[in-house]
Amino acid sequence: MMVSVEVMAEQFKLLGDKTRLKIVALVSQQQMCVCHLVEILQTTQPNISQHLRKLKDAGLVAEERRGQWIYYSLSIEDKPHLKEVLQYLPQPGEEEQKKINATLCE
């Protein structure tokens, strides 16, 4: 499926934001709840939720409800132009992984 230049431009524009790019890098490694992202990125829950909404609206992340929590994951199987670019993102470091493992969603 061919994607229009306009759609690609909008997707790349979304990823031009540092916070959204970090979110994409993190959820490309494993599913995450908002509380994980708040802890790792050291920002507010409303801020993370706003970024996730934009990424979800663009079809870049998918959500899965587990009880009262919603977990987010990367959803770019149908976007090879993004898949290619995102493989160059740095992987979460050891400290970030420790924060993920230590954060319990409550």
Q: What is the CATH number of the domain that holds 60?
A: 1.10.10.10
Q: How confident is the model at residue 75 (pLDDT cuts 50, 70, 90)?
A: very high
What is the extent of the structural domain holding 53?
5-102
The predicted pLDDT at position 47 comes to 97
Give me the pLDDT at residue 104, please: 67
Q: Stretch 27-38: mean pLDDT, rounded? A: 91
Total domains, the chain: 1
- Rounded CA-CA distance 78/44 in Å is 31
pTM of the model: 0.86
